[in-house]
A and B are shown apart, each in its own frame.
Chain A
Amino acid sequence: MHATILTRRRRLRGFQANTIAIVAIVMIGAITLTAVLAPVLISQSANSPDTAAILQGPSAEHWLGTDNLGRDVLARVLYATRLSLLLALGATAIAGSCGILIGSLPAVLGRAGGRAVTTALNMAVAFPGLLLVLFLAVIFGVGAQGAMLAVGFAQAPFFARITQTLTASVAGKDYVAAAKLLGVGPARILGRYVLPNVAEPLLVNLSVTIGQSLLVFSGLSFLGLGVQSPDYDWGRMLGEGLTRIYSAPAAALAPGIAVVIAGLAFNLAGDGLAKSVGSGNARLATARPVFRQRAQSATAPGPHADLVLSVRNLEVRFPARSSSGWVRAVNGVDLSVSRGEAVGVVGESGSGKSLMTAAAVRMLPYPGLASADELAFDGVDLRGPDSPALQRHLGTGISMIFQDPMNALNPSLRVGHQVTEAPRFHRRLSRTQAKRFAIALLDALRIPRPELRAGQYPHEYSGGMRQRSVIAMGLSVTPQLIVADEPTTALDVTVQRQTLQILKQAQHDTGAAILFISHDLAVVAQLCDRVLVMYAGEIVEELPVTRLSAAAHPYTRALLAASPDMSTGRGAPLASIPGVPPQLTDERRGCSFAPRCRFATEECRTQTPPTVELDEGRRVACFHPQPATTSLTQGAHT
């Protein structure tokens, strides 16, 4: 599902980029045509003074009015296209050729020479471009030619810098190394192997440089340092028009608009080409599925004094990307966690275990929607509107530990501050109290020299210490419930074991309940009392961890068989569950696991199996629950 969405999006983005590029290229075509034809066709109205029509406003005859010598402003703007464009092209030619020459020097010169060129380029690029232009304009002299040289040479360092970056990336490639080994000379390597491979981005950059040159040149002519009378380009027209902006605003605005349009056309052409050439991944961040919490009122919750979390018929949906429908990520699950109990939730990725848990504690991300017949934490209904009291209840009652402990600490804030942030905010701890508490917490989690460590930033911590501080942060509110979402997945085996021990110890010390999400049954078995097995947004089996080996649901069985343990022969292939989970968009019929189940019958495919209680604490949703005697490994190796 994700794969198809991504291809569609990429194609769409490619299409948008192409549209932009096509529009820009059509604009460039029109500009070029104007540059070629205007001096031939409208030289008369652009350049011949007409004393009878001085400084007229827009009319049918003169669409943009006339200037102080009675010449048609529109005609002059069109006429100036040729000179403006030619000067920009000339400047770009200078910038491009010098830039490519200097920028490819490091690839040819060897280390010391290359570094010298790079340093010089870095220094030149650090200067504002306009200063460089003015500096060079002084040397080359005022006038069209001098200004062209100045604009060209001033942009050369930027072009050289880009060339250098591009060639450096290619110079490290295998085929270049191979050519060097074969004794191909540096100049030939550059000409045959390096430059052809960076030609495309360089062309894109040339287009952008034309746009830049147009803009910079118009600035220079505007200042009176570029094109001189009687010639005129857009910049000079603009500068002279500005002095009469009250009497004839069009004479100042029209050339300005022409510069912007032409500049944008070349910039956009470059951007469009770059996007359709390269892969623009800037938007991929939004391709992540996202959810929002919305509680739906239903029947009143029944109070369960011994339950810390109780959830009945929880559903989580989010808008489907491809159509107007909904994806049902969690489909009517019941979940209850007793005080001090450790409950594991297992399932493959995409089974809805994380979303179910997030919805259960009001952390469902946008644009997800959750609804439930009952949703209560510590006796408080979570389905109502948000309020500070509810946030405090949740903030002091639940702590969450996420998948990647290395990134759970904010790099800009001191660890001590982060560890006690929740109690300081929700319990109004003072600064000194919080500091003392932070040190005590870090000390309790065996972080050496906690007084010093509390004042440090996460990057000064080792991986193991960061992991322990994240848990210290979770314990700072003395929660009733710790939600751990795959907290050991990103860790190596040793740290994983330590983390589990710390969690177990914390549970023992504080009496907190744990809701532990994992795809790894072996990890869950080490920590939890009870296991919920999720498949395709449903809980298919629930059983005490001690009865895992007697699991009745074929999916649980397959999961068990797929997790290797010490008794698995080293030569045996790693088992996997054949097939893929169903798409959650489908209107589902029958058992979700049926297509992958080797015990499935016609009944499984047409009817939804009800959840039945096999014996005390053991519930399963299956028409064919397996007796304890069936061999575990049987189906897995097929």
Chain B
Amino acid sequence: MNTTAQQSITATNPWVSFAVRRLGRFALSLIVLVTAAFAMIRLIPGDPVRAALGSQAPQALVDAQRSTLGLDLPLGEQYLRYVGELFAGDLGSSLITRQPVIQIIADRLPATAQLAGIAFVFTLIVAVPLGLAIAVATRDGRRRPVDIGFSSVTGILGAMPEFLLAVGLVFIFAVQLKIFGVAGRTDAASFILPVVALSSGAIAILARLVRVEAARALQEEYVRTARSKRLPARIIYLRHTLPNVLTATLTIAGLLLSGMLAGTVLIENVFAWPGLGTTIVQSITTKDYAAVQAIVLIYGAGALLINLIVDIVLAVADPRSTIRES
């Protein structure tokens, strides 16, 4: 559409062009997200406030709530008011408990972020060395049984939904072996099952990717050249192979992280984890739309932020990355 303008920016500095483009997309996505969250309550058939408060609630209370939410104003005015309140850090109040939603989120978000963060780090720590080790062990068609075993196990784990795995883990480790508690966030040990359940699928997917990418790199001429320099194995694999796997790994890891953020909703409900995931489900069930709206916004913004960070890290880590060139 504006190729000449883009080219002139690119000609000045690819980083500026990248920043403009990427931040522009982030801003656009945020606007879409905010609009979607705003529209959500308005799209619910019937009167959401009446639905939330129940048919027994006095009409005066319903009307008061409607006007607090601004639902009696014209739509355009409602939108401006909503956006204005967002900028002021006001996410509204719960329809049920009247508690400020920002307070609920402040209480609950850390547990969710902690779970997703630990699971993500655990995924990287396990998946990258595992994928690389399998690629090295099975290079040039060595050790077929290892290859087949790895492909089968990761194939099944990658396709299995995390909450089903969580139930299986609870049964084996909490019910049968009684090693861990069934639920709750208490000591460090209480993190183990939720983190394993949340990250197993991601580990399987990421390890497969690292393995494929590393196997491809191992076939490259530059690895043969490194071997011809008679360098020790650790240098050949860690210095000459691993860096060439990172771009693809980071791209997928970013997707997995935002998927994990969403996956916490199910995992938290299996383990009764006191995070946003249990809160959003309760809020949906009790029709506390103000809380749902705000939590959806938080999750969505989290996913967008992760995508943005991954793209920036990619651009810095791999200067040839298509992000800067495309």
Please tell me if B20 contacts chain A, counting CB pairs below 8 Å: no
**Chain A residues positioned under 8 Å from B229 (CB to CB):** 395, 399, 421-422, 425
* Interface residue? A130 (CB, 8 A): yes
Interface pair A245/B221, CB less than 8 Å apart: no
Verify if B228 is at the interface (C-beta below 8 Å from A). yes
Given contacts A134-B280, A134-B296, contact A411 B244 (CB under 8 A): yes
Instruction: Name the residue of chain A whose CB is nearest to the CB of B37.
Output: A135
Which residues of B lie under 8 Å from residue A285 when comparing CB positions?
Answer: 215-216, 219
Interface assignment of A225: CB less than 8 Å from any CB of chain B: yes
**B281/A253 in contact, CB under 8 A:** no
A177 contacts the other chain (CB 8 A): no
CB distance from B30 to the nearest CB of A (A): 11
Of the candidates A112, A137, A242, A290, the one having the most CB atoms from chain B within 10 angstroms of its own CB is A242
Determine the chain B residues whose CB is within 8 A of the CB of A267 once the complex forms: 159
B263 in contact with A130 (CB, 8 Å): yes
Query: 15 pairs across A/B with beta carbons < 8 Å?
Result: A126-B304, A128-B299, A131-B262, A131-B299, A139-B40, A141-B44, A223-B265, A242-B167, A256-B168, A290-B141, A366-B139, A367-B142, A422-B229, A425-B235, A457-B319
B221: nearest residue on chain A (CB-CB)? A407
Contact B266–A421 (Cβ < 8 Å) = no
Interface size bracket, A side: 35 or more
Residues 252-287 of chain B, each 1 if its beta carbon lies under 8 Å from chain A, else 0: 000000110111011001100000000011001100
B270 contact set on A, CB distance < 8 A: 242
Closest to A285 in B: B219
- B129 adjacent to chain A (CB < 8 Å): no
Are B266 and A222 neighbours in the complex by a CB distance under 8 Å?
Answer: yes
**Contact string, B210-253, partner A, CB cutoff 8 A, digits 1/0?**
00100110011111111111111001000110011010000000
A275 to chain B, nearest CB (A): 13
Q: What's the minimum C-beta distance from A350 to chain B, rounded to whole angstroms?
A: 19
Q: How far is the CA of A218 from the CA of B269 in the complex (A)?
A: 13
Min CB distance A395 to B, Å, is 3
Q: Could you list which residues of chain B lie within 8 angstroms of chain A, going by C-beta atoms?
A: 1, 28-29, 32, 36, 40, 43-45, 139-142, 156, 159-161, 163-164, 167-168, 170-171, 174-175, 182, 212, 215-216, 219-232, 235, 239-240, 243-244, 246, 258-259, 261-263, 265-266, 269-270, 280-281, 284-285, 289, 292, 296, 299-300, 303-304, 307, 319-320
- Given A222-B163, A290-B140, verify A413-B243 contact (CB < 8 Å): yes
Interface residues in A261-317 by Cβ distance below 8 A to B read 263-264, 267, 282, 285-286, 288, 290
Judged by a CB distance under 8 angstroms, whether A123 is at the interface is yes
Residue of A whose beta carbon sits closest to that of B287: A142
Contact A138:B265 (CB < 8 A) given known A224-B281, A245-B170, A363-B227? no
Q: Are A138 and B292 in contact (CB under 8 A)?
A: yes
Nearest first, the 4 A-B pairs at minimum CB distance are A395-B230, A128-B262, A412-B243, A400-B228
Give chain B residues whose Cβ lies under 8 Å from the Cβ of A216.
161
Is there an interface contact between A409 and B280, defined as CB atoms closer than 8 Å? no
Task: Check A215/B36 contact, CB under 8 A, given A225-B281, A395-B231.
Answer: no
In the assembled complex, the Cα of A420 lies from the Cα of B263 at a distance in Å of 48
Across the two chains, which residue of chain A brings its CB closest to B261? Answer: A128
A264–B159 alpha-carbon span in the complex (Å) = 7
Q: Is the beta-carbon distance between B296 and A391 smaller than 8 angstroms? A: no
A391, B230: Cβ atoms closer than 8 Å: yes
Q: How far is the CA of A365 from the CA of B140 in the complex (A)?
A: 8
Query: Is B231 in contact with A421, judged by CB distance below 8 angstroms?
Result: yes
- Additional 5 contacts, C-beta under 8 A, given A263-B161, A288-B219, A411-B320: A129-B259, A242-B167, A256-B164, A263-B159, A366-B139
Question: Which B residue's beta carbon lies closest to that of A290?
Answer: B140
Residues on the A chain within 8 Å of B36, using CB: 135
A510 at the binding interface (Cβ < 8 Å):
no
Q: Does A238 belong to the interface (CB within 8 Å)?
A: yes
